[in-house]
Structures are given as structure tokens and as C-alpha cells.
Chain A
């Protein structure tokens, strides 16, 4: 088995299309991370000085001063209380130009990043690894070299397993490195900016990365298994596309709970639970909803449920793939 694993690893290393996809798995999150760090860069001292000058110029304008006088004279028109002891400061903050009006920038918030860009990076890497898994073995079928391989190793389950292990292991290690690097880099950036960056947040992010890596490696394995089943990269991608489009639409049309949407379940795995929304009875919108009716529209899908959902599909695809490969004639 070790010999076969070595062979499959070499095959993967020599396949240029697969290497390009793996390169993209590394490069795109780097681009993503750099873009996030860049777009959340705090303003420089020069920027602040320029803005302060702009604020001073605006503040000095007569109509602004007139507004301030009006606010002090008739604060209730500005929604302020006349007897507010801090009226001067209130009116100034209300009427006078502020820094933020001229200088908008996002703060790097790791908690927010987990829900947004973190999930997007996992999705992106998963798609790329799925393509890598399907490309690697699709080429074997397309070129007909699978039959040649089976003339040298006839135990088909071994061949299937060796290829699957290589696809899964390479995807897992690579995505784990990529996600960990991504979160460590963002955490370091937040820390260097004196933003909230406790070790606890970092651990949460790294755990997301670990779960994300499992999802990405599972996607690669799923792509591989389906291609071994359909014996064509194009057929696999076609089926996945159809399932993604038609499956989601079908679930929505049939009014099935959002907890059965694939993306909800994947998010639940990666984020250790995901929110989803359910329809509640119309009675919930009356002044006094009848007791005993669940009126909470927002639900949480636990990671365990998501894992069972995703794992079931993977198991199904894997079992069908192995059985088919063992039994069907190889062209």
C-alpha cells in the first residue's frame, strides 16, 4: 500500500493542472488576506492631519457656526434637551464636522472576519480542491491510463483507496496550512494595530481553520469519488452544478427547512454552528401569540448536525464510487 501511495503522490506532483489548482489554493487566500489587511489599515498620521485640517476648515464656515448657534439656542429642534448640562458638547458633536465624516475605514475585527471572509475563504479553497480531486483522476479516465494502471495493480479497492488517501491527505494538510496561516496573519495584523486580539479569539479562528480544512479535504475527496463513479471530470462538474442549482431551488420550492440547505450545513461545520431562519405561524405576529407556539424565527444548526449531513453525502458518494469501480468493466 505504501508503494501505491508513493506512486499516487508522484502522479499528483507531476500533474501540472493539479499543481496549478494547488497553487491557487495557496495564492488566493493570500490575496484575500492581504486585501483584508490592506482595506482595514488604520489611517496614517498624515491622513489624520489632512482630515483634521479639513474638519477645521469646515468648522470655520459661517453656516456651520450658525447651525451651532441654532442648536444651542433651540436644542429641542435638534432632538436635544434644553436643560442638558453637556449641551455645548452635544451640539458640537451633532452639528460640527467630525473626523469620521471625512475618513471612513473598517476596523479589522476577527470575530466578524470569522463569519464573513473566513467562511468565504473556506468555500473558495473547497471548490479549488474539489476541482483538483476531480482533475487528478478525471485525467486517468480520459486518457485511458486507468486500465494500464490496473494491469500493474489489479486490486481495485487498493487502487481506489490509495488515490483517495492521497487526495484527502494532501488537501487536508494544504488547507490546514493555508487556513492557519490566514488566521495567524490576520491575528498578527490586529495585534499590531492594538485591536482586540486575545488568544481566545485566535484559538476560535484556528479551530474554524481546522474544521474548514476538514470540509475542504472532504470536498476534494467527494470530487474524486464522484469522478471515479462517473469516470469523467465534465460529468462530475455537471452533476455537482445541477445539484447545487436545482437542489437548492427544489428545497426552497418545496418549503423544506433551511437546515437542509447544503450551505447552511457546511457553515455549521466550519463555524461550529450556524444560524438559519424558519417560517413561524401567522399567530406569532399578533399582539398576544397563543402559548405553546414556537415563534422564534432564528434557529441554530449545531456543528454535529452539519457534520452528519455532509458526512452522509460523502459516505454515499464514496460507497457508490468504490462499488462501481470494483464491479464495472474498465475501458
Chain B
């Protein structure tokens, strides 16, 4: 049985500009999101994340390629699966003159959900007490929370969140992050599109990185982080001398920061760094392995993609890139 909740194959989207030209937003994207957990969907601005999400939800038509949700082809079978999918696409979009509750009631009635579910959703996102105020009087954080409440009306198996923390203050970001993590732990599959990579790294179990509408990498977050050369931070009494010796021995060396004397050295074996410096009479003050974060992986991939480099992508449900 196919255990992917989202699968796209060769997905392609072109927009025709008013001047008659074509703009390619998504080109041949193969996306695979496994069931369960929180899956990050990353890419620079304009890389095609929102367009992909909008195509999956039937808001935009794909130019080419195929898409499946829960193994059903979409958009053809969207009516059969949409009740299992909650989504917030870009900014929250509700009628500004209706109260938050009125907006939710209309959506709940559309799917035949009981009114009790509206109360529960409002309570879950912490809007109790403000739910009867007009939507236009809400802060951005409240609007985002209302949008998440709307997704909960369906009791979804799949939650698609497109930049859900945009414009939120740190407390709001934390609340949303906790909600997402909680949903993921409850068995809801979450596709989280975000620019905030630290946030993605904290809550996501797997991730897909795209650039210029193409897949750059996909896999479990810990496996994505394992890729690339190992780096160690070197602290030495004379950093300039240490750098010279290491570079002389063929290591790639860079300063840790412009205002820091520490060095970052690409080395598969930290012991080799110690040996080379020791033989030169330079005794280390500290040697720390540097753990790669998602931001560095993301920047490596997207910057290289911008320069036109080729990448080997592994769009799997569990493998590393």
C-alpha cells in the first residue's frame, strides 16, 4: 500500500504574463510526503512552494504532471479527500466584517461539521473571548490562529501550513510551533512550508527543499544534516599561524566569524587536525565538532542551484539526500 499522503510526479506550472511571456513557477517537481510527522517544505521566495500547495488543493491548475493525495489523483478526486485535509495558504483569508466565529460557522456548515467543533477549534487556538469580534479587528497572530482553527474543523489527517508564523511575535511563533508539534504527535501529517529554518529544524521530522520550482533534496532532517563535509571549530593561541599550517596541509579553512579568532576547518578526522598542528608546535586550546544546521544545508543547496550547479536529489519517503 502506498503510504505517502502527498505525491507529485513531474509537476509543472507555467504562468502566462500579461505581455504574453511564460513564467515557469514549478518544473517537474517530484514531491513525496510520508504519512505521519511534520514534513518541512523549504525553498527561497518564488521557488514554487505556495504554487505547489495551491495546485495540490485545487486552487491552481497544473500545466503538466500528476498529483495524489492519500493515493487519490487530484484535482479529479479532490472532493473525496478534501475533508481529510486542512490548509492555510499564504495569509489567512476570511470575511473581514464577520466575526471569527461567524467565519468558522460558515466553513463548518459547508462540511456539515457540528457547531461543537467550532467551539473546540476556537478553544484549541486560544481565541475564546475574542471569537465574537470582527475578523478585521484581529491582530496578525489572531488571524493566523483563526486560520489554524479553520483547519481543525475538519479533524484533518493532513495539515498543509504555508508560512503559518508569518508576522507573529516570538510568543506567537512558539504557540504555533507547539500546536504543530502537538498535531504531529497526535498522528496528523503536517506539511509545513516556512522560511524560518530553525523552526523547521525544531519541529520537522523530514523535509523537502526546492529551488526554482525543482526538487533539490528530500529526506529525514537528521539525514539531510549528515550530508556534506564534517567541520570542526579550532581555537589556537595563534590563529594566523594555525591557519597557515592547516592550509599548508591541504585543509579548507575559514574564519568562524569576522570578529572571532576561531577557525572552521573541514576535516573528516579531527585527530588529523590535532596531529598536523601538534607537529608544527601549535597546541590547541579547543577543538569542537560543528554540527550542520538546516540553514547551512538550505543555503548550500539553494545557492548552488542559483549558480546552476547540478544536484543529486533523492525524493524518497525516508532516505537522505
**In the complex the two chains form, is A10's CB within 8 Å of B106's CB?**
yes
Task: Take A154-B75, A329-B59 as given contacts and tell me if A145 and B111 are in contact as well, using a CB distance cutoff of 8 Å.
Answer: no
A-chain residues with CB within 8 Å of residue B82 when the two chains form the complex: 151-154
Interface of chain B residues 102 through 133 with chain A (CB within 8 A): 102-103, 105-107, 109-112
The reply to whether the CB of A7 lies closer than 8 angstroms to some CB of chain B is yes
**In the complex the two chains form, is A148's CB within 8 Å of B60's CB?**
no
**In the complex the two chains form, is A153's CB within 8 Å of B110's CB?**
yes
The stretch among B91-99, B229-237, B292-300, B312-320 that forms the contact with chain A is B91-99
Q: Please tell me the number of chain B residues within 8 Å of chain A, measured between CB atoms.
A: 31
The smallest beta-carbon distance between B52 and chain A, in angstroms, is: 13
The stretch among A11-19, A82-90, A281-289, A296-304 that forms the contact with chain B is A11-19
Query: Can you list, as one digit per residue, whether each of B60-82 has a CB less than 8 Å from chain A (1) or not (0)?
Result: 11000000000000010011001
A-chain residues with CB within 8 Å of residue B152 when the two chains form the complex: none
Query: Please, which residue of chain B has its CB at the minimum distance from the CB of A10?
Result: B106
Query: Please, which residue of chain B has its CB at the minimum distance from the CB of A146?
Result: B93
What CA separation (Å) do A4 and B109 show in the bound complex? 8
**In the complex the two chains form, is A7's CB within 8 Å of B110's CB?**
yes
Query: Please, which residue of chain A has its CB at the minimum distance from the CB of B110?
Result: A152
**In the complex the two chains form, is A3's CB within 8 Å of B110's CB?**
yes
**In the complex the two chains form, is A7's CB within 8 Å of B106's CB?**
yes
The reply to whether the CB of A36 lies closer than 8 angstroms to some CB of chain B is no
Query: Please, which residue of chain A has its CB at the minimum distance from the CB of B58?
Result: A154
Task: Take A3-B110, A4-B110, A329-B54 as given contacts and tell me if A147 and B59 are in contact as well, using a CB distance cutoff of 8 Å.
Answer: yes
The reply to whether the CB of A150 lies closer than 8 angstroms to some CB of chain B is yes
**In the complex the two chains form, is B60's CB within 8 Å of A143's CB?**
no
What CA separation (Å) do A329 and B93 show in the bound complex? 16
What CA separation (Å) do A14 and B95 show in the bound complex? 11
A-chain residues with CB within 8 Å of residue B58 when the two chains form the complex: 150, 154
The smallest beta-carbon distance between A313 and chain B, in angstroms, is: 28
The reply to whether the CB of A311 lies closer than 8 angstroms to some CB of chain B is no
Task: Take A148-B150, A152-B111 as given contacts and tell me if A330 and B96 are in contact as well, using a CB distance cutoff of 8 Å.
Answer: no
The reply to whether the CB of B5 lies closer than 8 angstroms to some CB of chain A is no
**In the complex the two chains form, is A139's CB within 8 Å of B95's CB?**
yes
**In the complex the two chains form, is A143's CB within 8 Å of B59's CB?**
no
The smallest beta-carbon distance between A153 and chain B, in angstroms, is: 5
The smallest beta-carbon distance between B181 and chain A, in angstroms, is: 23
**In the complex the two chains form, is B106's CB within 8 Å of A11's CB?**
yes
The reply to whether the CB of A327 lies closer than 8 angstroms to some CB of chain B is yes
Interface of chain B residues 23 through 59 with chain A (CB within 8 A): 54, 57-59
A-chain residues with CB within 8 Å of residue B61 when the two chains form the complex: 327, 329
Task: Take A154-B78, A155-B79, A329-B59 as given contacts and tell me if A10 and B109 are in contact as well, using a CB distance cutoff of 8 Å.
Answer: yes
**In the complex the two chains form, is B102's CB within 8 Å of A14's CB?**
yes
What CA separation (Å) do A139 and B136 show in the bound complex? 13
Our pick among B96, B102, B111 for the contact of A143 (Cβ within 8 Å) is B96
**In the complex the two chains form, is A14's CB within 8 Å of B60's CB?**
no
The reply to whether the CB of B89 lies closer than 8 angstroms to some CB of chain A is yes
What CA separation (Å) do A148 and B107 show in the bound complex? 8
The reply to whether the CB of A149 lies closer than 8 angstroms to some CB of chain B is yes
What CA separation (Å) do A3 and B112 show in the bound complex? 7
B-chain residues with CB within 8 Å of residue A77 when the two chains form the complex: none
**In the complex the two chains form, is A330's CB within 8 Å of B59's CB?**
yes
Our pick among B93, B98, B103, B105 for the contact of A144 (Cβ within 8 Å) is B93
Task: Take A151-B57, A151-B87 as given contacts and tell me if A145 and B110 are in contact as well, using a CB distance cutoff of 8 Å.
Answer: no
The smallest beta-carbon distance between B112 and chain A, in angstroms, is: 6
The smallest beta-carbon distance between A219 and chain B, in angstroms, is: 24
The reply to whether the CB of A70 lies closer than 8 angstroms to some CB of chain B is no
The smallest beta-carbon distance between A146 and chain B, in angstroms, is: 8
A-chain residues with CB within 8 Å of residue B150 when the two chains form the complex: 148
B-chain residues with CB within 8 Å of residue A16 when the two chains form the complex: 97
What CA separation (Å) do A152 and B109 show in the bound complex? 10
The reply to whether the CB of A193 lies closer than 8 angstroms to some CB of chain B is no
What CA separation (Å) do A6 and B96 show in the bound complex? 21
What CA separation (Å) do A10 and B109 show in the bound complex? 10
A-chain residues with CB within 8 Å of residue B107 when the two chains form the complex: 148-149, 152
What CA separation (Å) do A145 and B107 show in the bound complex? 10
The smallest beta-carbon distance between A8 and chain B, in angstroms, is: 9
The smallest beta-carbon distance between A161 and chain B, in angstroms, is: 14
The smallest beta-carbon distance between A111 and chain B, in angstroms, is: 46
- Chain B CB within 10 Å — which of A10, A149, A154, A330 has the most? A154
What CA separation (Å) do A11 and B96 show in the bound complex? 13
**In the complex the two chains form, is B59's CB within 8 Å of A150's CB?**
yes
**In the complex the two chains form, is A7's CB within 8 Å of B93's CB?**
no
What CA separation (Å) do A148 and B150 show in the bound complex? 9
B-chain residues with CB within 8 Å of residue A150 when the two chains form the complex: 57-59
The smallest beta-carbon distance between A294 and chain B, in angstroms, is: 51
Extra inter-chain contacts (17) besides given A14-B102, A152-B107, A153-B111, CB under 8 Å: A3-B110, A6-B109, A7-B106, A10-B105, A16-B97, A143-B95, A143-B96, A145-B94, A148-B150, A150-B58, A150-B59, A151-B57, A151-B59, A151-B82, A151-B85, A152-B154, A153-B82
Return the 3 tightest CB-CB contacts between A and B, nearest first. A144-B93, A329-B60, A152-B110
A sample of 29 cross-chain residue pairs with beta-carbon separation below 8 angstroms, ordered by A number, consists of A3-B109, A3-B110, A3-B112, A4-B110, A6-B109, A7-B106, A7-B109, A7-B110, A10-B109, A11-B106, A14-B98, A16-B97, A143-B95, A144-B91, A145-B94, A145-B95, A145-B103, A148-B94, A150-B58, A151-B57, A151-B59, A151-B82, A151-B87, A152-B82, A152-B107, A152-B110, A152-B111, A329-B59, A330-B59
